[in-house]
Amino acid sequence: MDYFTKKEQLFIVFILVIIFLISIFYYINDKLLSFKEEDSQEIEEILKGLEEDIRSEEAGYIMVHVSGQVYNPGIVELKAGSRVIDAINLAGGLKKDADSDKINLARKLSDEEKIHVPKVGEEDFDHSLSTSSNDGEGKININTCTKEQLTTLPGIGEVLADRIIQYREDTPFKSIEDIMNVSGIGEKKFEGIKDLIIVR
């Protein structure tokens, strides 16, 4: 029986090690390529979402959440400058038991706004969407209100509502003008909500 010399044995071991290392290299390379493909798909989806948002803003469109006594509650897309009645119509229209007297159907809408259509006799309805009286009745107290109440204000979405709550936890509001200290709320947005809020 023939035996390999020591030199031949070392050479065979060397070849096997090379084959093993090449196999590992190709395995890792395949994994990296699959990860890159997944990452590129995620990036493409994010970019598509941003492009859609930019198109919507350029076209002058807004997104509004309609809830309560409508046939198709949910998110609706409207042209900027649309009114409450337009959003309600897109949500399927008012149900028979909807109390339309408690909301201002002619009011202009803002992006990220929420409209709640109450049921006749609904006691816990938030009147902040109605015309508020000068004595503060129906206005939202920005020092004590909930996140849900804040999102009923024109132009105040969940992100801004969280910022308002975070701000007041550190520094309670002394006047309604203080809300402009919250990042994302400028004079234009303040003009749209100043008649709907109060500080106590």
Interval 152-167: pLDDT, tens: 888 888 889 999 999 9
pLDDT digits (tens, 9 = 90+) for 50-59: 666 565 555 5
Query: What is the chain's mean pLDDT, rounded?
Result: 79
CB 179 within 8 A of CB 138: no
- Its pTM stands at 0.39
Q: Report DSSP letters for 73-136, one per residue.
A: -EEEEEETT-BHHHHHHHTT-B-TTB-GGGS-TTPBP-TTEEEEEPBTT-TT--GGGSPPPTT-
User: Residue 89: its pLDDT value, please?
Assistant: 94
Distance of CA 93 to the CA centre of its chain: 24
Contact between 126 and 151 (Cβ < 8 Å): no
